[in-house]
Amino acid sequence: MEFCEFCGNILNDDGRCPWADCPHNAILDVMAAAETADKQTDTDDTNGGT
Ligand SMILES: [Zn+2]
């Protein structure tokens, strides 16, 4: 069981905070978006390279 570092709520099973507006969720969203972008740049390699 993990507690949110911002509001102290018990985190959901998926690791998100039950408080929808919590910064914890915002950070998770940013990290997920960054990971997605990472994968996209990985596969979209055709216009890369210097
Ligand atoms: Zn929280």
* Predicted confidence pLDDT, tens digits, the chain (50 residues): 899 999 999 999 999 999 999 999 999 999 999 999 998 876 666 666 67
Separation of CA 25 and ligand 1 centre (Å): 7
Separation of CA 5 and ligand 1 centre (Å): 7
Q: What CA–CA distances, in Å, run from 37 to 25, 32, 42?
A: 18, 9, 8
Q: What CA–CA distances, in Å, run from 2 to 15, 28, 38, 45, 50?
A: 8, 15, 27, 38, 44
What's the pLDDT at 41? 75
Separation of CA 30 and ligand 1 centre (Å): 15
pTM higher than 0.75 for the full model? no
**Can you name the residues that pair with 3 across neighbouring β-strands?**
10
The 10 Å Cβ neighbour count of residue 28 is 16
What's the pLDDT at 43? 64
